[in-house]
Amino acid sequence: MTGPAFQRCEDCRAAVHPRRVLCPVCGSRRLADERSAGRGVVYSTTTVHARDGRYNVALVDLDEGFRIMSEVVGVAPDDVRIGMDVRARADGERIVFDAV
Amino acid sequence: MPSDRLRGAVAVAGVAESRLGEVGPGVTPLELIAEAMAAALDDAGLRKGDVDGLFTASAYYGLPGVNVGEELGVRPRYSDSTNLGGASFVSHLLHAAAAITAGLCEVALVVYASTQRSEGGGLRSVVEANPHEAPYRPRYPVSMFALAAARHMHEYGTTREQLAEVAVAARAWARLTPRAFARDPLTIADVLASRMVSSPLTVRDCCLVTDGGGAVIVTSTERARALRRPPAVLLGAGEAHWHRAIAQMPDITTTAAVDSGARAYAMAGLGPADVDVVALYDAFTINPIVFLEDLGFCAKGEGGPFVAGGGIAPGGRLPVNTNGGGLSYTHPGMLGIFLVIEAVRQLRGEAGERQQARVDVALVHGNGGALSAQATAVLGTLETV
């Protein structure tokens, strides 16, 4: 279980991230803590061209039904593609994704 | 509908800009705000003592209304510092209409300035770091718009050349605009070959960083009729926001402009086919493409073909950002007020070489944040009321 933490609304079943007190969809207070299995798909991607090099910034749709910003690593930033299957792993404090 | 009461109730009676471009070190935003207000009051034929409503937003001052009020010696009885980023000043038109119609003020000053270029050329911002974004080092805000552009290209086949068309059209308009900051010729090839910032957006897909201020005077249409300049009547306005962070946006190719635009059109009793001139917040080249779709000028996904072949350039199918917009005219951090000013100039027929032949209705659309906050206004000549 290496994916990001999220909440599941026990009333409307919405996946909620980041953490909230109230479900943003239905307003319920009943949000249960869960952890994603870490499987997802790249929703969009950009390569940031910084002075000290290039790196990927991606939006990843987790299979549980929420989206986070992250980085796809292990491939050249420009080779990250929308629709690519990715798998989460810990990178220090961060969660990053490998292409699968 | 209650909003029908606002249709045609108020009008823009005066507009002006301060110095624009690069004002040099030691000039504060408040000084530019004072310049802009004084010139806008002259334009309207009103005096500072007439101003009893103050509408402002700022990337500098935590309590912008009181900073601006003190600097100007304005003591508003209605004060609104709503901050929707670059959409603020279009939003302020709606709020001013409500306040004036409710009798809470009579003469509203909407005002903004920044000296971000003279301070070093970075985007001045009070935006907080998002703990769910910061570890991944997106360049705020360009990477967020790059993500939207990449997804738009993926879903609809939009091309980098079509993105570049937006920058090239803006430059062509700027070349007709004496005060525009960037007036050198610009081609699609130039845009594609310029330095990549956050793919697919190059530095020429990004707006300018300039200094500048603008002021707009709003009062009842009845009072505006008796003033110096032809009134630009507020026929409709709407605002909407659905999210703050780009990851919270359900579909990053469709913005809340769908709602703000629908509200503005409904109040005005008009639609996109009635609009003669358009001003869209063009912080990045993807923005006008998305907003043309969301505001009904073309179908979702058709924005790329719409702007292709000079579609929004001088002589194209729809005049968009006729002064060159944020990409080539000026961009002091938040563009909204300058969009309003250009629309008013077109409605008055005082836009010089870039003046369109017949302008009865102008649409202004502001964006704030990462495609987050949206505000739309429809302005018209007195004949459209």
- Amino acid identity, position B48: K
User: How many residues are listed for chain B in this entry?
Assistant: 385
Query: At B179, is the pLDDT very low, low, confident or very high (cuts 50, 70, 90)?
Result: very high
Query: Which residue would you say has higher pLDDT here, A2 or A20?
Result: A20
Percent of chain B with pLDDT over 90: 96
Q: Exposure of A39 by Cβ count < 10 A (0-12 exposed, 13-18 middle, 19+ buried)?
A: middle
Size of interface A-B (CB pairs under 8 A): 69
B197-253 tens-digit pLDDT: 999 999 999 999 999 999 999 999 999 999 999 999 999 999 999 999 999 999 999
Cβ contact B246–A69 (<8 Å): yes
In this predicted structure, the answer to whether residue B376 has a pLDDT above a threshold of 80 is yes
Q: Give the pair of three-digit tokens for residue B378.
A: 């429809």
Mean of the pLDDT values across residues B69-83?
97
CB nearest to B136's CB, from A67, A71, A82: A71
In this predicted structure, the answer to whether residue B121 has a pLDDT above a threshold of 70 is no
In this predicted structure, the answer to whether residue B2 has a pLDDT above a threshold of 60 is no
Percent of chain A with pLDDT over 90: 98
Query: At B127, is the pLDDT very low, low, confident or very high (cuts 50, 70, 90)?
Result: confident
CATH of the domain spanning B2-118+211-234, picked from 3.40.50.12240, 3.40.50.150, 3.40.47.10, 1.10.150.20: 3.40.47.10
In this predicted structure, the answer to whether residue B61 has a pLDDT above a threshold of 80 is yes
Mean of the pLDDT values across residues A35-64?
97
**A97 φ, ψ (degrees, to nearest 5):** -125, 140
Within 8 A by CB and 6+ apart from A76, the residues are none
Mutation site for B-interface testing, chosen from A69, A79, A81, A93 by largest number of B Cβ within 10 Å: A69
Query: At B1, is the pLDDT very low, low, confident or very high (cuts 50, 70, 90)?
Result: very low
- Taking each helix axis as running N to C, give the angle between helix B286-294 and helix B257-268, from 0 to 180 degrees, rounded to the nearest 10: 50
Cβ contact B252–A55 (<8 Å): no
Domain-wise residue ranges, chain B: 2-118+211-234, 138-205+236-384
A57-80 tens-digit pLDDT: 999 999 999 999 999 999 999 999
**Residues 176-215, chain B: which have Cβ within 8 Å of A?**
195-201
Q: How far is CA B12 from the centre of its chain?
A: 15
- pTM, 2 dp: 0.97
B251-306 tens-digit pLDDT: 999 999 999 999 999 999 999 999 999 999 999 999 999 999 999 999 999 999 99
Residues of B in contact with A57 (CB under 8 A): 136-138, 143, 147, 198
Question: What DSSP assignment string belongs to B61-112?
Answer: -SSHHHHHHHHHT---SEEE---BTBTHHHHHHHHHHHHHHTTS-SEEEEEE
Which domains, from first to last, does chain A contain? 5-99 (2.40.50.840)
Q: Give the pair of three-digit tokens for residue B208.
A: 């300018």
Interface check for B141 against chain A (CB to CB < 8 A): the answer is no
Do the strands B361-368 and B277-280 form a parallel or antiparallel pair, or are they unpaired?
Answer: parallel
Q: Which residue of B has its CA nearest to A48?
A: B198
Interface check for A57 against chain B (CB to CB < 8 A): the answer is yes
Q: What angle do CA B121, B330, B356 make, to 5 degrees?
A: 170
B88-104 tens-digit pLDDT: 999 999 999 999 999 99
Q: Give the pair of three-digit tokens for residue A99.
A: 């292409």
Cβ contact B136–A50 (<8 Å): no
CATH of the domain spanning B138-205+236-384, picked from 3.40.47.10, 3.40.190.10, 3.40.50.720, 3.10.129.10: 3.40.47.10
CA distance A67 to chain B (A): 6
- E-strand ranges in B208-349 read 211-220, 232-241, 277-280
Number of CB atoms found within 10 A of residue B223's CB: 18
Within 8 A by CB and 6+ apart from A27, the residues are none
CB nearest to B146's CB, from A43, A46, A55: A46
User: How many residues are listed for chain A in this entry?
Assistant: 100
Mutation site for B-interface testing, chosen from A7, A46, A95 by largest number of B Cβ within 10 Å: A46
The answer to whether B2-118+211-234 and B138-205+236-384 have equal CATH topology is: yes
Q: What is the reported pLDDT for A1? A: 54
